Copies of this chain bind each other. A is one copy, B any other.
Amino acid sequence: MPETSPTRSNNFDGWLDSYSERAHTLSVSEVRALFAVVSRPEVVSLAGGMPYVSALPKELLAKAYESMMAKKGDLAIQYGGGQGDAELREQLRDIMAIEGIHASPDDLVVTTGSQHALDLVAGLFLDKGDVVLAEGPSYVGAIGIFRHYEAHIEHVFTDDDGISPVALQEAIDRMKAQGRRIKFLYLVPNFANPSGVTLAKERRPQIIEICQREHILILEDNPYGLLYFDKPVPDALRSMDDNVIYLGSFSKILAPGFRVGYVLAPPALRDKIVLAQESALLCPSMFSQMMISEYLSVADWRKQVDTFRGVYRERRDAALDAMSEYLPNLRTTKPDGGFYLWVTLPDGIDSKAMLPLAVKELVAYTPGTAFFGDGTGQQHLRICYSYPTPERIKLGIKRLATVINLQTELIETFGKKK
């Protein structure tokens, strides 16, 4: 994989024989490779995954900044504790309570985005060869972390109601029959990245029951739960089982530039997360934490989340309308919240191979292969509708249709490749 990295090929590396084993697990992600493309204004990017932060009134932040600095300026720019700001952790209770979680702030650890929470937790559990169970498809950033810890990612069949309990049990049995150590089940239960699907209410206790019986830890990653379009999501898995490790984030309900996320964990594990965090970066930014804490105090943050919901609902509608209009024969998920559509391509089209053609047509997406740890996913692609305007989304999907239809015609004329 290193050979494919465009940034490394012409750099002579005098330390090549010195790297650790884990250094060789790193490769340029397919999402990252797109960043250069995405930044060109003529390209409609349906890749990315960026929230539309322009919908956040900057006056709210200015108010928070002034109030924070007036009240606790010296604390905001000083080192803080490794567990995170106590006041922010107290405020997080209200946010988690919306999805039925009633927890102590003592069991929360604030982190540098929920990505770092996931990295810290994964590091505490994963030895080389350990198994992580994950939805199929699963979040690309999680796959990267699990790979970095040299874990085996076993995808579990996932449909429009989320991960399948039957398939989960089968996967567990399969891994156990192979004598492998399963460390945890990782899932994004609400408006998942990349599928957009939500784990059905009736499946939640089933998933918990299986994992309890099999003594498998659950990592519930929930950055999108509050961004529902019509009705609230079912209660979190964590609300039904205190042993679930719950990850939350401000990146989607406020802004990612602060890099503030959090993890709720049983006390013994929480202590280990704090120690791992202190080792990695001493403490999360007090400046970022206190900005968010103050924002939650001085702004009507629930109303702002509602504003975001409206923005993303309109964009989801634009995306689905455009799919019906330009690609009526393709199967796509129909998300009730969040940022993503998951599209199944006609037989014989490889989304990764098609990407350069799409970019030539001035539209970008993320190939399905990014969301699997096992090399599959070629027949899928992810559309992210959170960032472009509805008009741009429609234009992008129209362009995508041109590319897909041309591919389909080629296949019909000349037959499938390979």
Contacts and interface: CB of A to CB of B under 8 A. Distances in A.
Contacts of A416: none
Interface string A281-295: 111111110010000
Given A12-B268, A69-B61, A268-B13, A112 B281 contact: yes
A73 B258 CA distance: 12
Interface in A102-122: 112-113, 115-116, 119
Nearest to A7: B271
A251 B283 CA distance: 12
A280 interface: yes
A266 B148 contact: no
Contacts of A26: 272, 275-276, 279
Contacts of A280: 115-116, 119, 145, 280
Interface in A74-99: 74-82
B267 A11 contact: yes
Interface residues of A, number: 88
A285 B259 contact: yes
Interface in A20-70: 20-23, 26-29, 32, 35, 50-51, 53-54, 56, 58, 61-62, 65-66, 69
Given A20-B123, A123-B22, A77 B50 contact: no
Most buried by B among A7, A74, A285: A285
A204 interface: no
Contact of A23 (B50, B113, B124): B124
A281 B78 contact: no
B259 A284 contact: yes
A8 B58 contact: no
A179 interface: no
Interface in A122-178: 123-127, 130, 141, 144-145, 148-149
Contacts of A124: 19-20, 22-23
Q: How many copies does the complex hold?
A: 2
A327 B291 CA distance: 45
A257 interface: yes
Nearest to A31: B278
Contacts of A144: 278-279
A237 to B, nearest CB: 16
A271 B282 CA distance: 24
Contact of A11 (B69, B119, B268): B268
Contact of A77 (B119, B217, B255): B255
A81 B34 CA distance: 12
Interface in A246-280: 251, 255-259, 266-269, 271-272, 275-276, 278-280
A251 B81 CA distance: 15
A56 B32 CA distance: 38
Contacts of A193: none
Contact of A257 (B12, B66, B79, B116): B79
Given A23-B276, A28-B275, 5 more contacts: A20-B130, A65-B65, A76-B257, A257-B287, A259-B284
